[in-house]
Structure 1
Amino acid sequence: MQLNRESALRRAVELATRGDRAILGITGAPAAGKSTYADQLVTQLVAEGHQVALVPMDGYHLAQSALEELGLAAVKGAPQTFDGFGFVALLKRLKESADETIWAPRFDRSIEDSIAASIAVPPETTLVVTEGNYLLFDQVPWATGRALLDECWYVDLDDDLRHQRLEARHQLFGRSPEEAHERAFGSDEVNAKLIAATKPAADAIITLS
């Protein structure tokens, strides 16, 4: 199923108003625009009066100190650099414990680390939007998390434009042009191919202009 911004908004409203709490996943390759789109979608839904919370998967990045200790700093963003089991446990709580306020971590790009208990999801929340790289990954623990999502949408973007955005992002956060290029076409590209392989499993494809 293909969705544009308007039809995606209508579908999100349906999820937010169906009665019980729903969880919507938004995935896509690095720099495809999923984080920006998820934020825009939630902002629009909240402005229309819906009780919606945004809980990104990035809050479950392993701490930078842990990545360095494990020798994984160079591949930050790969599946093994996240606390996948912790993220799935959060999804389970969000789905099954809707009568309590649940606190989720947030990833802060300015310090390249996560901050615990930064995002509140109160009981009145009818739709939780989560976004991240591996929501459709078919390996443990990610596959368990996929089963907890009511829907998962894949944000698609032309690879050339995505690479440009990715290099610009790396430079914005302090990498030289050479380092940014190496990262974008190195470990980031490995991850992007893993994520692209999950596209057929999405409930909908969204092409952002």
Structure 2
Amino acid sequence: MTFAALVDRIVRLSAREPGVVVVGIVGAPGAGKTTLAEQLISLLNEGERAPERQQYAHVPMDGFHLSDQELTRLGLLERKGAPETFDAHGYAALLRRLREARGPVVYAPGFERTIEQPIAGVVPVYSSVRTVLTEGNYLLLDQPGWRDVRAQCTEVWYCEQEEGLRIRRLIERHSAFGKTPAEAREWVERVDEPNARLIEATRGRADLIIPAFD
């Protein structure tokens, strides 16, 4: 599987499907979903620098993390990153809105890793956009809210990665954003890996299985 083949698949989907196409990229934490989505968007929008004329946009799931304040109220702060710590219904509603007729721009939320918090209104999706790439952990999860997310996706691709490399990346990521190596390793074992097993169980529902790209 090459980038060129993935780009061609997206282009063909966009030409075949009426309205706005939504391609989801799912995979375990550290599988390389964000890197893949960003590189695909860069290739797809190549030659068109004006954001308001680009036809492809990246809208990540991470903007729908619940805030630490709300997670604390719910008693879920120590499970941050698990399915119940996201606003799945809000995520589905945004994807639905992007597929419908809309005004000049829709603003989606993003996620700032330096403070580990969602930030409203940082991802503009202009009316020129005809294909949205969205990536996250739970797009194929058969649970309330997440089923609605899947229903808004034209296709969902499952992104795989070698286990050792994936876990090393996670530990490095957590360490880079404030945890000690020991804390990072403990978080990966206690939170990320149970989530990874849950995500891996959804692999069979994907439309396409692809390797992660570095």
TM-score tier (shorter): over 0.9
In structure 2, C-alpha distance between the alignment counterparts of 1:196 and 1:71, rounded to whole Å: 26
In structure 2, C-alpha distance between the alignment counterparts of 1:23 and 1:74, rounded to whole Å: 32
Q: Is the 8 A contact 1:25 1:131 kept in 2?
A: yes
Query: What is the SS of the residue equivalent to 1:140?
Result: coil
Taking structure 1 as the reference length, the TM-score comes to 0.94
Match of 2:83 in 1: 79
In structure 2, C-alpha distance between the alignment counterparts of 1:137 and 1:44, rounded to whole Å: 29
| 1:182 to partner: Cα distance | 0.6
AA in 2 matched with 1:115: I
Match of 1:169 in 2: 173
Match of 1:24 in 2: 23
Cα RMSD (Å) of the superposition? 1.4
Give the length in aligned residue pairs.
207
Match of 1:8 in 2: 6
AA in 2 matched with 1:67: L
Q: Decide which moves more: 19-28 or 174-183.
A: 19-28
| 1:154 to partner: Cα distance | 0.7
In structure 2, C-alpha distance between the alignment counterparts of 1:4 and 1:194, rounded to whole Å: 27
AA in 1 matched with 2:32: G
| 1:91 to partner: Cα distance | 0.9
Q: Is the 8 A contact 1:92 1:148 kept in 2?
A: yes
| 1:106 to partner: Cα distance | 0.6
The percent identity for this pair of structures is: 45
> Within 5 A, what are the aligned runs for 1:83-122?
83-122=87-126
Taking structure 2 as the reference length, the TM-score comes to 0.92
| Per-residue Cα deviation, 1:82-101 (whole angstroms, up to 9, x for no partner) | 01110011011011234552
AA in 2 matched with 1:43: S
Query: What is the SS of the residue equivalent to 1:186?
Result: helix
Match of 2:140 in 1: 136
| 1:179 to partner: Cα distance | 0.6
Query: What is the SS of the residue equivalent to 1:7?
Result: helix
